[in-house]
């Protein structure tokens, strides 16, 4: 096996030439340990692009003005997970450090930004899980981003990942505790003309049971009643 692997590696190097190491060359200069520590501490253990935790992906220290050969000063570095750093072009000098401010933003007068902790049944760094105050069916559950964002289309990728995790988890939890549940509606209202009344993104998970309405055919198409049946 070792002989086969070595042969494959040799073929790869021969085919790609020196260019296969090109992505390493710009960042080859050593970053002092004290600078690395300060950058990672400032980032609070999160990638400053996608927001993922250091517990999920290793963080690397990126020199922002690579293409300009910027000075080796603390202000010129940012913490990126290995995926974001690898996908970032060598000439890309975008500063992602303000992203954490977006994740921390809360609207003063928004009811979902200021939910009482007593209502939250589950949460992570990005999403809160609550029981709907006006449930359509038993176990109707809401998933609410902690960041103030108007609708689903404004969610960042870490929030989408977290949202999907919680929807899947609570689908399983609901079905395990209520054997009558045979389906779900997953929905959200995006925009006033789509029925949105609270302009902080929230996603509904509505359990369904056989016979809970006379004719369930069409499901979410019922948001426009005469289009439900087809």
Q: Is the pLDDT assigned to residue 68 strictly greater than 50? A: no
If asked whether residues 95 and 119 sit together in one domain, one would say no
- The stretch 119-134 carries a mean pLDDT of 94
- Check whether residue 181 and residue 161 sit in a common domain: yes
Q: Which pairs from 154-157 meet CB under 8 Å and 24+ separation?
A: 154/201, 155/201, 156/50, 156/51, 156/99, 156/102, 156/103, 157/50
Q: Which residue has the higher pLDDT, 138 or 71?
A: 138
Q: Give me the percent of the chain exceeding a pLDDT of 90.
A: 45
Burial 13-49 (b: 16+ CB within 10 A, else e): eeeeeeeeeeeeeeeeeeeeeebbeebbeebeebbbb
The average confidence (pLDDT) of the chain is: 84
Domain boundary among 85, 103, 121: 103
From residue 170, alpha-carbon distances to 103, 135, 164, 177, 205 in Å are: 24, 15, 10, 10, 8
Give residue 96's pLDDT: 65
Say what the pTM is: 0.64
Domain total in the chain: 2
Task: Identify the domain boundary among 76, 103, 130.
Answer: 103
In tens, the pLDDT along 90-115 reads 656 666 666 667 778 899 999 999 99
> Measured in whole angstroms, how far is the alpha carbon of residue 191 from the centre of its chain?
21
Instruction: Check whether 189 has a pLDDT greater than 80.
Output: yes
What pLDDT score was predicted for residue 29? 57
Q: In this structure, are 70 and 121 located in the same domain?
A: no
Q: Answer whether residue 25 shows pLDDT above 50.
A: no
- Whether the pLDDT of residue 73 is over 80: the answer is no
Of 213, 207, 216, 219, the closest CA to residue 183 belongs to 207
Question: Looking at residue 90, what is its pLDDT?
Answer: 61
Same domain, 61 and 147: no
**Residue-number span of the structural domain to which 13 is assigned:** 2-103
How confident is the model at residue 17, as a pLDDT? 62
Q: What is the pLDDT of residue 27?
A: 47
């Amino acid at each position: 096996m070792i002989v086969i692997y070595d042969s494959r590696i040799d073929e790869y190097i021969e085919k790609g030439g020196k260019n296969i190491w090109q992505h390493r060359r710009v960042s080859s200069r050593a970053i002092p340990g004290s600078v690395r520590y300060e950058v990672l501490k400032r980032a609070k253990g999160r990638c400053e692009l996608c927001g993922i935790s250091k517990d999920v992906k290793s963080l690397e220290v990126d020199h922002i003005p690579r293409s300009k050969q910027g000075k080796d000063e603390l202000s010129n570095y940012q913490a990126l997970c290995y995926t974001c750093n690898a996908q970032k072009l060598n000439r890309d000098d975008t500063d992602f450090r303000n992203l954490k401010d977006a994740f921390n933003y809360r609207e003063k007068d928004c009811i979902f930004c200021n939910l009482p902790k007593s209502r939250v049944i589950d949460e992570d760094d990005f999403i809160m899980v609550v029981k709907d105050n006006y449930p359509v069916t038993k176990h109707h559950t809401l998933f609410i981003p902690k960041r103030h964002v108007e609708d689903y289309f404004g969610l960042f990728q870490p929030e989408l990942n977290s949202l999907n995790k919680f929807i899947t988890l609570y689908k399983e939890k609901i079905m395990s505790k209520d054997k009558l549940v045979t389906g779900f509606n997953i929905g959200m209202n995006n925009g006033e003309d789509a029925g949105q009344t609270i302009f902080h993104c929230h996603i509904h998970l509505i359990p369904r049971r056989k016979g809970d309405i006379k004719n369930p055919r069409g499901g979410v198409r019922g948001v426009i009643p005469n289009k439900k049946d087809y």
